[in-house]
């Protein structure tokens, strides 16, 4: 069973089975502040667990829970609350904390879509020189489930390509693919947060280096 209709949910359609509940619904906007939206997801999550006892629950959380600058954000606090709910009432689960998803379409405010639109439309933007970001191909999520997830029982796993890309690396690769120069001003702001990746994740990505992975994403989705 797949709960949700967004980018993640659509990428999992070919994995839809009766004995696994993929919970890909709820709050997707990291800037959300309305309690009603958070409560709606928690209620739906609780119902999904109670109505599917005996099934494995797969929940999609966020790597932002590791970001010290966001520890008090309503979105991060909500995701941690959802994780705790799962651990307390689900007997069989996998919590996947995901970084910046790259895919076809989706939220126009994601990092990848934001930069793509700004560069292709020649719209100026501000570049935070110290910022680094972790990226993940939307298709890697379903492929990871097919290859590794059966061995991960009642675990919380950080999942993304295990490399911190600088903004310059991402922008320069996009400029080359689009054959367009980005228009931006640099400042000294920005940061990144360290993430520990499970051996199953590093092994999954062991055959591709960081530069090639970025090129693959840009060629595939730009």
Does the pLDDT value for residue 16 go beyond 70?
yes
Dist. CA 1–CA 17, nearest whole Å: 6
Strands (E), 83-215: 93-98, 100-102, 125-128, 132-133, 135-137, 155-159, 165-166, 184-187
pLDDT of residue 149: 67
Please report, for the domain that includes residue 42, its CATH number: 3.40.50.720
Mean pLDDT over 169-194 rounds to 92
pLDDT of residue 90: 95
Note whether residue 20 is domain-resident: yes
Residue of 172 and 200 predicted with greater confidence: 172
Average pLDDT, the chain: 91
Query: Would you give the distance in Å from CA 45 to the centre of its chain?
Result: 19
Does the pLDDT value for residue 148 go beyond 70?
no
- A 10 A CB-CB count for 116 gives 20
Note whether residue 156 is domain-resident: no
| pLDDT class of 147 with cuts at 50, 70, 90 | confident
Does the pLDDT value for residue 32 go beyond 90?
no
Range with lowest mean pLDDT among 15-19, 46-50, 56-60, 171-175: 15-19
pLDDT digits (tens, 9 = 90+) for 72-118: 899 999 999 999 999 999 999 999 999 999 998 777 778 899 999 99
pLDDT of residue 141: 94
- What range does the domain containing 6 cover? 1-98
Note whether residue 133 is domain-resident: no
Mean pLDDT over 43-58 rounds to 94
C-alpha angle with apex 191: 189 to 193, nearest 5 degrees? Answer: 170
- How many domains does the chain fold into? 1
Strands (E), 168-212: 184-187
Residue of 2 and 71 predicted with greater confidence: 2
Does the pLDDT value for residue 150 go beyond 70?
no
């Amino acid at each position: 069973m797949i709960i949700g209709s967004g980018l993640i949910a659509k990428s999992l359609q070919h994995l839809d089975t009766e004995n696994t509940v993929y919970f890909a619904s709820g709050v997707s906007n990291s800037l959300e502040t309305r309690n009603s939206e958070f409560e709606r997801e928690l209620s739906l999550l609780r119902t999904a667990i109670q109505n599917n006892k005996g099934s494995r629950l797969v929940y999609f959380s966020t790597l932002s829970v590791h970001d010290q600058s966001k520890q008090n954000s309503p979105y991060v606090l909500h995701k941690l609350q959802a994780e705790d709910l799962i651990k307390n009432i689900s007997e069989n689960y996998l919590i996947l904390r995901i970084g910046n998803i790259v895919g076809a379409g989706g939220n126009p405010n994601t990092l990848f879509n934001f930069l793509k639109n700004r560069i292709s439309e020649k719209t100026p933007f501000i570049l935070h020189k110290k910022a680094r970001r972790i990226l993940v191909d939307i298709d890697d999520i379903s492929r990871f489930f097919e290859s590794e997830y059966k061995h991960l029982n009642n675990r919380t796993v950080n999942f993304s390509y295990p490399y911190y890309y600088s903004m310059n690396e991402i922008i320069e690769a996009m400029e080359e693919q689009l054959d367009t120069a980005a228009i931006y001003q640099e400042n000294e702001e920005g940061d990144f947060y360290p993430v520990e990746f499970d051996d199953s994740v590093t092994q999954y990505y062991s055959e591709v280096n960081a530069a090639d992975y970025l090129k693959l994403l840009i060629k595939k989705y730009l």
